[in-house]
Structure 1
Amino acid sequence: MTQLKTLPTYDPSLFEGAAEGYAQYRTKYPPVVFDKLAEIFNLNGQGRLLDLGTGPGLISIPLRTQFEEVVAIDPDPEMIAEAKRQAAAVGANNITWLEQGAELIDSSLGKFNLTTIGRAFHWMERELVLERLYELLTDDGGLALLQTGDNPWESNLPWKQAAVGVVKKWLGEERRTGQQGQGTRKPVDPPHEVVIGNSAFARQENYEVPFEKSWTIDSYLGYLYTTAFSLKIFYGDKAPAFEKDLREALLAVEPSGHFTEELKATILVACKH
């Protein structure tokens, strides 16, 4: 049993002011990702889904049709409020939204056939979440960690490198995270696969789903303003000058102002048995 004296304290500034833009500008998981999940876990409209770190519902809302009931959890009240707006807009009425940390899940939530986490596992107390999650899954259930593969800090695309260069010019060389822009990003160590390998989950598999993503300068600016490393609040009244710099840098690489990239969404699956 994992023993923690205190649960990690959620930093409410991590995505401060970003919820609406997150829903609009973050890369959506393509339908083929959800098709792959349905294939892996034999989803058929029955059972229950638990979506941890749900944000504005980018997984829970489109995947809800594969389940009778969905429970979606996030510690950020702005994200939960935006998720409810997004769900109402499409008539998604089988989702229960809970504002809490993933570390607080327990048996009161009931059993689930699948748990999903998208771009959020690294923010969690991973070992504790896995331990508590294991008990909540049905015997044939599992966990799926989803990523869209569009991290500009790891890209060799010239326009993305140009964008990161402008962010560094304004915010410094270190990648910011949390504490209202005063925190710095720490490497995810050990990798998720190692943490899962040390857990009670019996096996894990990786899947890749290729897809294409297109951006404009405006949509990429919107994306940057939803990231923990480049929230709009970091720039204050200097945001217009930052935006001017970003536009000039991106147009210098691609004068059309339109960008396309080939991405690989990844699905890291951990099965209970």
Structure 2
Amino acid sequence: MDRDKTLRDLDQLIEPTGAVVLASGGAPGDTEPAPWLQVSADVRTRYLGPERRAGSGTYSHPKERHQDVLARSPFSDIDIARWDRTVTRTLDEVIGLQFSYSYSSPAQLGDHKDAFERDLRQALTEFSPAGTLDEVVRTEAIIATRPSTACTLPPG
């Protein structure tokens, strides 16, 4: 996505007092990943390779942070709200989560889906015999508005 162009277009569409809000899990590296995520990534890489798939192509996170793109846009007044919580998932929930991602969906895995599930279940069970996996999940909202302009009244 051309984020600069999108923000210029939004400048024409959004009311003068409106805002752009980006909700996400935060940028990669903002939180310490749960160790079991690497176990899942290792199994996924064995089946799908090291590049993150997206549809029929691949995906990589943008190199420039959203805040930096917003800072040079008409919506350069930026506030950020973050909430962290610990989520405990069962083995079945983690496997279902992997299948819900576009980069490790059953469509991506094709005929290897069942073998992937078996290997992932085995690797995660070895990692956590109790069958529960904790992860700190971040929710981040970047709220960007146009800078306010001070209104000055003429003397008198």
Task: Give the corresponding residue for 1:241.
Answer: 115
1:127 and 1:167 map into 2 onto residues whose CA distance is 33
Q: How many residues in Structure 1 have an aligned counterpart in Structure 2?
A: 146
Once the two structures are superposed, the pairs formed by residues 1-273 of structure 1 within 5 Å of their partners are: 124-149=1-26, 156-179=33-56, 183-273=57-147
Q: Greater relative contact order: 1 or 2 (C-alpha under 8 angstroms, separation 6 or more)?
A: 2
1:214 and 1:136 map into 2 onto residues whose CA distance is 41
Check 1:255–1:244 CA distance in 2 against 1; reply closer, same or farther (3 A cut): same
1:205 and 1:137 map into 2 onto residues whose CA distance is 18
SS in 1 for 2:15: strand
The residue type paired with residue 63 of structure 2 is D
Over the aligned positions, Cα root-mean-square deviation in angstroms equals 2.2
Distance apart, 1:241 and its partner CA = 0.8
The residue type paired with residue 194 of structure 1 is D
Check 1:214–1:151 CA distance in 2 against 1; reply closer, same or farther (3 A cut): farther
1:151 and 1:160 map into 2 onto residues whose CA distance is 13
TM-score (norm 2): 0.82
Distance apart, 1:202 and its partner CA = 3.4
The residue type paired with residue 156 of structure 1 is P
Q: Is the 8 A contact 1:212 1:263 kept in 2?
A: yes
SS in 1 for 2:75: coil
1:251 and 1:219 map into 2 onto residues whose CA distance is 13
Task: State the Cα deviation string for residues 206-239 of structure 1 (Å, max 9, x = none).
Answer: 2211222221222222221222321211221221
Task: Give the corresponding residue for 2:154.
Answer: none
SS in 1 for 2:112: helix
Question: Unpaired segments of 5 or more residues in structure 1?
Answer: 1-123
SS in 1 for 2:92: helix
Task: State the Cα deviation string for residues 166-200 of structure 1 (Å, max 9, x = none).
Answer: 00011112222221xxx222340322112111211
Check 1:150–1:195 CA distance in 2 against 1; reply closer, same or farther (3 A cut): closer
The residue type paired with residue 138 of structure 2 is K
Question: Unpaired segments of 5 or more residues in structure 2?
Answer: 148-156
Check 1:138–1:150 CA distance in 2 against 1; reply closer, same or farther (3 A cut): closer
**4+ residue stretches of structure 1 with deviation over 6 A?**
none
Check 1:169–1:264 CA distance in 2 against 1; reply closer, same or farther (3 A cut): same
Distance apart, 1:250 and its partner CA = 0.6
The residue type paired with residue 71 of structure 2 is G
2:136 and 2:34 map into 1 onto residues whose CA distance is 10
Q: Is the 8 A contact 1:149 1:263 kept in 2?
A: no
Check 1:217–1:155 CA distance in 2 against 1; reply closer, same or farther (3 A cut): farther
Q: Is the 8 A contact 2:70 2:76 kept in 1?
A: no
Q: Is the 8 A contact 2:47 2:112 kept in 1?
A: no
> Structure 1 vs Structure 2: percent identity of aligned residues?
29
